[in-house]
């Protein structure tokens, strides 16, 4: 059962994801998937809220997008976006936040930014790519290897976002402004 505080935190992090969507997407040209700031919010949700609340916060965001709210970078939204080439990455955000939170609860319970970086990279990058790359390959009709190779262009930026999320999560945890993982 979720407490009122849990619901508020889930809504707050869904709003954070929406706010990060206000940064314009950066198209790469060779893939139909843009660079956005929103994956940073996915990592933060997991690292700060834990598996259950982090996953629920991102699920709420994805449901709002599916309902047609233009919350994704570039003002995109709707079920069509989720069924398009970027859909696997966006749907993968839910699992990414959950896994990031699960790993944070088990292996990064303190304020160590190195451990937090590892869990953000594992959940927020590896898990998201594991869903997004096959989806991209299928929907865009490109070989899996090409989709995987093209997606590697996102890796440097995603590693930077994992670092930012790790340091931000460590600072928030150090300050004690959020309750412990549920």
**Does a structural domain hold residue 182?**
no
Predicted TM-score (pTM) of the model is 0.94
Report the interhelical angle of 155-175 vs 38-66 (nearest 10°): 90
Q: For 101-122, how does the pLDDT look when each residue is reduced to its tens digit (9 = 90+)?
A: 999 999 998 999 999 999 999 9
Which residue range is the domain that position 30 belongs to? 4-175
At 100, which CATH number?
A: 1.10.1760.20
CA proximity to 53, closest of 118, 104, 19, 88: 104
Residue 166 in domain = yes
Predicted confidence (pLDDT) per residue in 22-54, tens digit: 988 888 777 777 789 999 999 999 999 999 999
In a domain, 181, yes or no: no
Overall domain count for the chain:
1
- Report residue 175's pLDDT band, with 50, 70 and 90 as the boundaries: very high
Half-sphere exposure of 46 (CA within 13 A, CB side): 38
Instruction: Say yes or no to pLDDT of 182 above 60.
Output: no
């Amino acid at each position: 059962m979720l407490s009122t505080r849990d619901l508020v935190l889930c809504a707050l992090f869904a709003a954070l994801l929406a706010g990060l969507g206000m940064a314009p997407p950066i198209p790469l040209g060779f893939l139909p998937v843009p660079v956005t700031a929103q994956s940073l919010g996915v990592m933060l949700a997991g690292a700060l809220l834990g598996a259950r609340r982090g996953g629920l916060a991102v699920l709420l965001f994805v449901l709002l997008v599916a309902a047609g709210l233009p919350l994704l970078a570039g003002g995109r939204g709707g079920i069509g976006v989720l069924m398009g080439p970027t859909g696997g990455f966006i749907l993968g955000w839910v699992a990414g936040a959950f896994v990031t939170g699960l790993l944070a609860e088990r292996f990064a319970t303190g304020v160590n930014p190195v451990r937090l970086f590892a869990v953000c990279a594992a959940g927020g990058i590896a898990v998201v790519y594991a869903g997004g790359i096959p989806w991209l390959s299928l929907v865009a009709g490109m070989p899996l290897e090409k989709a995987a190779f093209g997606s590697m262009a996102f890796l440097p930026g995603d590693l930077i976002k994992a670092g930012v999320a790790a340091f931000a999560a460590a600072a928030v945890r150090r300050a004690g402004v959020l309750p412990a993982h549920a």
